[in-house]
Amino acid sequence: MKGKKYGVGIVGFGGIATACHMPGWQKLDDIEIFGAVDSSGKARKTAKEEFNIPHVFDDYRKLLEIKDIDIIDICTPNTSHFPITIASLKAGKHVICEKPLAVSVKEVEGMIKEAKKAGRKLMAAQPQRFRKDSAAVKKMIDAGDFGEIYHAVAYAMRRRGVPCRDTFIKKALSGGGPMFDIGVHILDLTYWFMGCPKVHSVKGVSCTKLAKRTDIRGAWGEWDRKSYDVEDFATGYIRFADGRTIFLSCSFLANMEKMEDFSTNLYGTEAGLRWPEGKIYTEKKGVLQDIEIRFDSLPNITPHHEEIRAFLECVKKDREVPVKPEESLEVIKILEGIYKSAETGKEVVF
């Protein structure tokens, strides 16, 4: 901390940084954006000219040399999260990193070890937890309104929603396809709703059925079909150590009714819930009841901004971060387990 200000450096100054993270930091009075890094000259120009960031580089190691920086915000492609996080922690910086925290269990374990060694905060940016409807549902769950949630069915499915950039469709950059891009969001949220239990085993399937076809069109434009080397569909059955389960399905391209289904269905002993619609299903005095929750009376918040505010509060007051890296480790175990199971055709037991 420098006086009443905390210095922030952003690594990766593309769309997620400029549209979501920067506005969140700019809302806070006790921070100052000291630096930004990007390999793109256009992005560096944006950082310097549009956001007036004083120190702009093409190498994140130069950013880490700035002593006034306390927090590093990582918004780079998935496979670069690990080396940048490790270097940042070694340099004595706190780290908030875009999801997924890393692309392997080994990498996340290394991050956790280094964060503890450095005595610095580490958190994956999982904005779905910070939505007003998510927070309200979590309070109801924790109050026991649903009883024991023993099973969930989670979807991150798109009909024609392939991101057109290489950072999403090349495994060397992304680490995976829809599971790492959108699946990690709904999985983390569902896992959090269920109280973050320990993973026991995973059985899964991963495949590419439509993304290589030239007769398939995307709603967001064209992608490089020759370079596309990640899955366009994956599904998995997750069993936790306490016997509870999740069924997860993710896709960029699927022949389905809706253009997108981003939802989770919770099955509890006292009631069930479909999120984000806010529909509760229960029985009272022998009568089946379908109840609609109204979230519109809750104060509006921007999830990305709220997670940044919450992370800064943890840095300032030396509190445990709301998205614990140990929870992100279990999420990555599941995703990596689905890929391994898909390759071997066998259940992966942890």
Domains along the sequence of the chain with CATH:
6-125+303-323 (3.40.50.720), 129-301+332-349 (3.30.360.10)
Q: Decide: 281 and 3 in contact? Cβ < 8 Å.
A: no
Q: Terminal CA-to-CA distance of the chain, rounded, Å?
A: 40
| CA–CA dist 68, 122 (Å, integer) | 19
Pairing of strands 271-275, 279-284: antiparallel
pLDDT at residue 3, as a whole number: 56
Which uninterrupted H or E stretch holds 124? strand 122-125
pTM of the predicted model as reported, rounded to 2 decimal places = 0.97
Residue 106: what residue type?
A: K
Instruction: Give the residue from 127, 84, 140, 167 showing the smallest Cα distance to 302.
Output: 127
Which uninterrupted H or E stretch holds 172? helix 171-174
Helix (H, G, I), strand (E, B) or coil at 254: coil
pLDDT at residue 2, as a whole number: 46
Q: Decide: 246 and 197 in contact? Cβ < 8 Å.
A: no
Which uninterrupted H or E stretch holds 112? helix 105-118
Instruction: Give the residue from 57, 110, 123, 118 showing the smallest Cα distance to 82.
Output: 110
Q: Is the dihedral of CA 99, 105, 246, 158 positive or negative?
A: positive
Instruction: Give the residue from 121, 128, 130, 112 showing the smallest Cα distance to 92.
Output: 121
pLDDT at residue 143, as a whole number: 98
CA angle in degrees (0–180, nearest 5) for 166-170-174: 90
Q: Decide: 6 and 71 in contact? Cβ < 8 Å.
A: yes
* 10-residue mean pLDDT series, the chain (350 residues): 79 97 96 97 97 97 96 98 98 98 98 98 98 98 98 98 96 97 98 98 98 96 96 98 98 98 98 97 97 94 97 97 98 98 97
Both structure tokens of 198: 């320990």
Number of H helices, E strands in the chain: 13, 15
Contacts of 344 by beta carbon, 8 Å cutoff, 6+ apart: none
